[in-house]
Structure formats: structure tokens, C-alpha cells
Amino acid sequence: MARQRLLRVASLVQQEISLLLRMGRLKDPRIDPLVSITWVTVSNDIKYAKVGVSHFGGPDQMQEAVHALNHAAGHIQGTVGRALHARETPRLTFVADLSIESGFRVSTQLSQLELGPSE
């Protein structure tokens, strides 16, 4: 039962932050439309949440976006809290998610192996 609640809270937090980004409600120029929220994990007491951020630009742009999102975390947390209607809103920490980049790199290497020298 508790696990379901954590998953539901994580899903709602991800949806609300994604909506904020998509609607352009964060005015920081370092946060562009290529930023996406890939995952959210919530602590067992629902006091903290880690938010995975992916960016389809370069690693420098991703680090800037993560820094900007951490700077705006209080504002984002307030907006998420109002949408959740919960007694307590998790404190948000944004981290870079490199899994898409790693997956793309592995996919490229596999395709190069398949197109390798023919005999």
C-alpha cells in the first residue's frame, strides 16, 4: 500500500513539473524546451524527491538546466504542492539523467558493429 502511494506521488510530481516546463511557466532562459523530466523518486517519508532531468543538447546545456532548475526548486515545489493538495510536498532536487545519452551511444556502437567490414 505504501509503495503504491510513493509511486503515485512520484508520478504526480513528474506530471506537474513536466507541465510547468511545457507551458513555459519558468522564465529562466537556461531552461529551454529541450529539457525533459525522465524520472522521479520519492523518499519513504515523502519529504524528499530526486528528479531526473534530460536535455537533448550537449552536456553543458544539461548542467545549466539542472542548475537553473535547482535554483527555481522552491518555486516549483510550491506549484507542485498546490497541485497535489497534500499536507506535505517533497523537497525537490534535480539531477542530470545521462541514461538517454548512454543508450544512444550504445545503439550507435551496435549499429557500427553490424555495418562493420564484410568478408
List, for residues 16-71, the tens digit of each pLDDT value.
999 999 988 888 888 887 888 999 999 999 999 999 998 887 778 889 999 999 99
Closest CA to 99 of 48, 37, 50, 14: 37
* Residue at 63 is within a domain: yes
Cell 527555481: give the residue: 72
User: Which domain covers residue 79, as residue numbers?
Assistant: 2-114
The confidence score (pLDDT) of residue 117 equals 57
How many helices (H) and strands (E) in the chain? Answer: 4, 3
Q: What confidence category does residue 109 fall into, taking pLDDT thresholds of 50, 70 and 90?
A: confident
* Residue at 42 is within a domain: yes
The confidence score (pLDDT) of residue 66 equals 94
* Residue at 119 is within a domain: no
Residue 12 predicted with pLDDT over 80: yes
| Overall domain count for the chain | 1
* Residue at 35 is within a domain: yes
By the 10 Å C-beta count (0-12 exposed, 13-18 middle, 19+ buried), 32 is classed as middle
* Residue at 76 is within a domain: yes
Alpha-carbon span 22 to 87, nearest angstrom = 26
Element (DSSP H or E) covering residue 3:
helix 2-23
Element (DSSP H or E) covering residue 112:
helix 99-114
Q: Is the pTM of this model over 0.85?
A: no
* Residue at 36 is within a domain: yes
* Residue at 33 is within a domain: yes
The confidence score (pLDDT) of residue 93 equals 97
> What is the domain-level CATH number for residue 42?
3.30.300.20
* Residue at 28 is within a domain: yes
**Mean pLDDT score across all residues of the chain:** 86
